[in-house]
Each structure stands twice: as C-alpha cells, then as structure tokens.
Chains A and B, each alone.
Chain A
Amino acid sequence: MIVLDTLLIGGIKFVLRRIAEAVDAQLNDVDTLRQELLAAQMQVELGEMSDAEFADIEAALLARLREIQTRAREEGGDAVRITGVDVSVRDGVDDDASPEGAPER
C-alpha cells in the first residue's frame, strides 16, 4: 500500500509540477515579450527610439505573442487540463523523473 501510495502520489506530484513548469514557462515567455514591448514604448517616450523602429519591433513582438497563443490553443485541446481533482496526462510518464523530461513548450 505504501509503495502504491508513494508511486501514485509521486506520480501525481510529478505531473502537477510539470504542468506548473509548462504554464510558468509559457507565462514567462508572454511576460518577457510584454516587458520587451514595454521597454520599447519607454524608449520611444524617451526619444531613444523612432516611431518607425518601434513599429517594426512591435510587429515582431506581437507576431511572437500570437504564435505563443496559437500554440497554447492548439495544445490546449488535449495537452493539459485540470478540473477539480481530475488530472489527465498526455504522454503517460508516471515516475518522478529528472527535470530533463520536462515537456517542450
């Protein structure tokens, strides 16, 4: 029983951690892009960047942001879903593995 419990709980813990990491990474990515956009706005305000340069940077950042959102939507269908206590796992890994096993974003 103890072994089973440990496996079960360990497995769930692992899955939850990986979910958290994945969400974190994605959020961080979005956050980083937002920060860059904000930094660019600040530079425009300070006259350190022209409007044209800003338009280029803004377009590039927004494109990346859209990309992330699209991917999140695509993966959102079957990748990770947490509803109440139900946990479903896409790749079926079930042991407390090393962090190298983290899913790609």
Chain B
Amino acid sequence: MSARGGPGRTATGASADAPTFHFFAGKGGVGKTTCAAATALMLAEDGHRVLVVSTDPAHSLSDVFARRLGGTPRRLPARRGSLRALELDADRALVRWLTRRRSTLRTIAERGTYLDDEDLGRLLRLSFPGVDELMGLVELARVARQGGYERVVVDTAPTGHALRLLAMPQTLRRVAAVLNDMYAKHRFLAESLGRGYRPDAADRLIEELETDGRELTSLLQAPERCRFSWVLLPETLALAEARDGVASLAASDIGVSEMLVNRVTPPSGPSCALCDGRRRVEGRVLAEIRRAFPRLPIRVLPALPDEPRGVAGLRAVVALLRRKAATTGATSPTKPRAGALPSRRLTAATPPVWTATLQALAPAGVRLLVVAGKGGVGKTTVAATLALELSRQRPQARVLLLSADPAHSLGDVLQAPVDDEEQAITGAPESLRVRELDAGRAFARTRERYQRTVEDTFDSLLRGSRFDVAYDREALRGLMDLAPPGMDELFAILSVIEALLEREPPVDLVVLDTAPTGHALRLLEMPGAALGWVHALLAILLKYREVVGLGDVAADLVATARRLRELIALLSDPARARVVAVTRAAELPERETERLLDRLRRLRMTVPAVVVNAATPPGCARCERERRREARWRRRLGSRRPRRAQAWSIIGSPAVTPPPRGVAALGAWSCAWEAAE
C-alpha cells in the first residue's frame, strides 16, 4: 500500500515503468502453477525482469520450481533476464500492514467511535479467516513496486477464492468510505471549534485505501496492463467451472485474454482403452470449449511424458508455450480413433468392498466427514460417492452432502440440479440430501436479519446523532452489502452447526466437500477464529451495554459462541468427526497431501484414510510408464504413514474415462474401488 511511499506513490505505480501483470486462474489441479511458472521463465529468458507470485494459501510454486520459496522474492536461475519467485504469506502481510498503520487506525476509532484503545487492540489481535483474499492484491502490488519488475506473473488460488481475491479492491474502497465517515465527525468538530481543519495521518490513510482500491480495480480492468489466462483441462467439470468463472470476471469488467487447455492427451502415440477413450472425450470437450469461447484464443498444451519440475523441466512447457501459434491453428489433435473402447471398467463386476471401507471411514457415531485435498484430485467425485454409499448402507440415517467450495461442482458430478436448498437426488437413496452452499445468499439473509440492529448499534457507537453531522448511511449499508472475506468458510461452518446441532431432528451425518486444501484448512480453523470474533464482540457489547443496550445480537452471539464451542469439541473428537484426504499418485498432489496431513494433525483432526484417486489401469506403453510413476508416489505416501494403530489407511480408486458422472455411474465406479488396507 502506498502510505509510506508519500504522495505520487500509488498501489500499482501507474506510470510508464509500472509492471504488467499476468494472472493464471482456473479450477484446482489444472496446472495453473506450472503454466504460471513456465510463463515467468519464458518472459525472463526473453530478457525481462520478472517476478512470479503465488497467492494460493496452499502454495505449489516451491514444488514446481523444486526450490524452497517464501514470503520474500527469491532469485531463480534463468539464462537471460531475471526471475524471482515468492509465495505470499498473507498473515505476515496483514501484520506488517497493520503495524505501520495501527496508531492511525486507533486515532480514527477513538475520534470517530466510542471504541477505545483496548477495544481496538482486541479487534486488531484477532485472526482473519479471509486474510488471503484481503491482503493478496495489496501485498502483490507492494512487492511488485519494490523490486522494479517489468512483468509480474500471478498464480492464483482455485476459481472460487480467486474470484473473491479479485473482488477485494471494492472492499478496500468501502472500508475507506466508512473510515471517512467516522472521521467526518472529528473534522466537523475541529472546524466548528474555530481552529480550522488540516488533513492529518488519518486522512492520508483513508486516501491511501481509496486510492489503492481504485487503482487495483482499474489495473484489473485494463487489458494493456493486466492479462488473464484461464487454464483448464479438456474435461467437462473444468469447462463448467471455466464458463462460470469467465462470466463472473466479465461481470466485474475483467476480460480473459486466452484459454489454455492443458494436459491434452497427444494424438499420436500408443493406443489403449484408457488413452483412446480419453482422446475421444477430450476431442468432444475441446470442440465444446471452442463453442463456449468463440472470441478467445484457445491454446492447447499436450500432456508431457514427465511432470515438468524445476527450471530445466519447465523449459519443456516453455517450448510448448512458444509454439502456441502453430498448435492453435491445428485444432484437431484429438481425433477419436475408430474402435476406442468405452469405459468398460464401469461395468467391472468387482464385489463391493464398501461395508469394511465405510466402517473404517465413518463408523456409526461419526457426525461429520470432511473430504479435503488439492484441487483437481477428484474431491467432489469422491465425496459424492462416499455420501451415496453411506446412505445406501444406512437407509435409516439422515445424510447431508454439503459442498462448501464457492466454485461448486456437486451438481455437475451428480448430473442433477443442485442448489442452496437441500434436496433429494433422483436415483439416490431417499435419506440423502444434497446442497451447494451459497454463502452470498446466506450472508444476505443474516444481513437482513440484523440490518436494523446493526445500524442502531453503529448509530450509538458512531456518535453521529450528537453533532448532526451527515455521515453517509449508504456507506454503512454498502459495507454490509459487501461479502466479507472468509464468508464462504464462515457460512459453511454455520450450516454444519445448523444441520448437526440445531435442527430437529438433526442430520445424522454431514459429508462436507470442501474447497481445495488451503481454504479447507481455513475452514477447519474457522470455528476457533469465529469464536475469537464472537468473544471480542461480546466484550465490546458488554462494556458499552449502557450506551447500546444488549439486544438480540448479544443473545444470538452467546448462542453462537456455545455452538462454536460444541463444534470445536466435535471436530477434535475422533468418534464424531473425521477428514478423508483425497490425492493422486503424482508429485504435486503428493507433496500437498503431506502438508495437509501435517496441518490436520496439528489441528488434532482424525484422518481415517487417504483416497489415492484416478489410478491408471494397465494399458499402453504410456499408461504403463504412468503406472510405474504412480506406484513410486504411492509407496512414498505409504512410507509417510505414522507407525501407530490409529494410522490412516490407503484406499485406491481407478481412473476411468469418461469420468463417472451421475448416480448410476458413480455407483458403478465405486465397485472398482480397493478396500481400505
């Protein structure tokens, strides 16, 4: 941010030598990080000063470069130009930002509200669940400005949270407006006491926030300064998410520059059921992608024989990126081969292994089964399969399959209309209900419920009425209209509380399909963070009860605090809550899974099993090579298993083409799963 930079220094440095930004967005696991890293390397070796940044709280940039990266830019070996990389540490960025502005924020709060130093200190010490989205762009702009970079390449979190990140400049401006209104009373007083008013540090901070918000917005909207590449795989789920994502960006006046279709099965090469089936399906999806985005250049990157790792490995991707023109022109790399076999594995007559598996994953008494993992490993498909099998085996149990990923794909996986209302699915057991949480809608409902109370409370706290200074009530409403950072995680937790602890009769088991790793962890940390906020608000309300009274809000907050504590107890109880980690037997998912398991252990959550999804079946030479590589990663995963009785087991589920979609296909697919070891 710009306050320290003095006048003329702005968030994005909108001058001739300001860097241009190149964002990579898309569903989890499509290869955003690899494409971003390769693009950064290519630009550097074209002679530019390049910075590549990851804003996903579950960073993979270190894994891709095979270098340990951190919160400060680290130099990487490029043949020409200069290349630096960093993994943004949002928590530290927030602390840094607040530290420099703490005294000014205190001044504004003291002069504009009834809150004092103690209250403000209490609020500023809290952890911020949406910190990655809140700080992402601001910190990005700060780092980019400091290093004098020409090009900044940004690897974003998977779709849902990337969209939240890109909406954040609006929030900055709203916050500036509210602070401005708070401070208006001080300015009015100073003037009416006859001393006149000279802008001070508080005004500069308000100006800084407003300017940062405005400039970041215009940066994102300026195609000459900011490019967006949407990365996807040639499969229907990634395409569905691309459609939604590109439309959401367009609604914010952000244009996508190109579609990057990654890991397309090469047209030539060995032939087998799986590869041929893939080529066929991919060909269809590619044609659909072209129809869906008729005006956008579409680049097709064929799958490489090896996972591109390290600067040397990434040069293979750079080579693919450089020959983009040729590839884009020749648009039929995926002609279906005659006689390609359909997904025969779906009809495999493997006996169901589910009784033992479900007993291992969620014995009776387990109320919450969280499905977590890296983007694109098949979390939603696995979560849907588990929920279907659980409700088949336990027809008496009320099971709720809830998706908490703001970029939902449950409806696509089940091939059924799914929305924010819980509903049964045709063909699925009657006791199963499915819902895709709409956090925006939940937030709007809560806001309506509290609007009056909150406005009254603000009135009393803002001292507005005393001096009859018009402060913009619209700004306050606007602030309440804005989706708060961390909203998705907050409402997911509240929905789980409602289903398990409040509803009569309660849901017996919630299967929770989460956003990719970083935000799944934020979600599991949410009850603790939310309890901190509730306590801070309770303390402030208690202190000012003579001024604002204790209305419904206080009673609701006390009830919420109790529920949060119940949930926290439930989450760390192995008999009631468990996390199933989903992964693939490949380097990036494997490394992310290791970090996920580590974090879950520290959160004291029980992991009964790791599902290694999409295992390649026997087939052509290409598939066999893949199988050998997968076996290596699976052995490595096995070697990481803790040596104690309660350690997680490994469950395997096969790759099929086309991927299983719909209740019947998921049921058939589940027959091919391995039993828990």
Contact = CB atoms under 8 A, between A and B. Distances in A.
Contact of B545 (A35, A41, A45, A46): A35
A46 B549 contact: no
Interface in A34-81: 35, 38-39, 41-43, 45-46
A38 B535 CA distance: 14
Interface in B374-388: none
A94 B539 CA distance: 49
B423 to A, nearest CB: 36
Contacts of B98: none
A39 B542 CA distance: 7
B542 A41 contact: no
Nearest to B537: A42
Contacts of B561: 45
Nearest to A45: B561
A45 B535 contact: yes
Contact of A46 (B538, B550, B555, B562): B538
B535 A35 contact: no
Nearest to B565: A45
B547 to A, nearest CB: 13
A42 B538 contact: yes
Interface string A11-44: 0000000000000000000000001001101110
A43 B542 contact: yes
B359 to A, nearest CB: 38
B554 A46 contact: no
A25 to B, nearest CB: 17
A42 B557 CA distance: 9
A41 B541 CA distance: 13
Interface residues of A, number: 8
B549 A38 contact: no
Contacts of A43: 542
Nearest to A31: B549
B569 interface: no
A80 B341 CA distance: 87
A32 B558 CA distance: 18
Contacts of A35: 545, 549-550
A45 B550 contact: no
A38 B550 contact: yes
B550 A39 contact: yes
Contacts of A39: 542, 545, 550
Max count, chain B CB within 10 A of own CB: residue among A35, A41, A45, A46: A45
Contacts of A46: 535, 538-539, 542
Interface in B546-595: 549-550, 554-555, 557-558, 561-562
Nearest to B561: A45
Contacts of B550: 35, 38-39, 42
Max count, chain B CB within 10 A of own CB: residue among A35, A38, A43: A38
A45 B558 contact: yes
A42 B539 CA distance: 8
B274 to A, nearest CB: 57
A42 B549 contact: no
A39 to B, nearest CB: 6
A30 to B, nearest CB: 14
A41 B549 contact: no
Contacts of A42: 538, 541-542, 550, 554, 557-558
B92 to A, nearest CB: 29
Interface string B481-518: 00000000000000000000000000000000000000
Contacts of A41: 558
Chain A to chain B: the 4 pairs with minimum beta-carbon distance, closest first: A42-B538, A45-B561, A41-B558, A38-B550
Interface of B: 535, 538-539, 541-542, 545, 549-550, 554-555, 557-558, 561-562
Given A39-B542, A45-B562, 13 more contacts: A35-B549, A35-B550, A38-B554, A38-B555, A39-B550, A42-B541, A42-B554, A42-B558, A45-B535, A45-B538, A45-B558, A45-B561, A46-B539
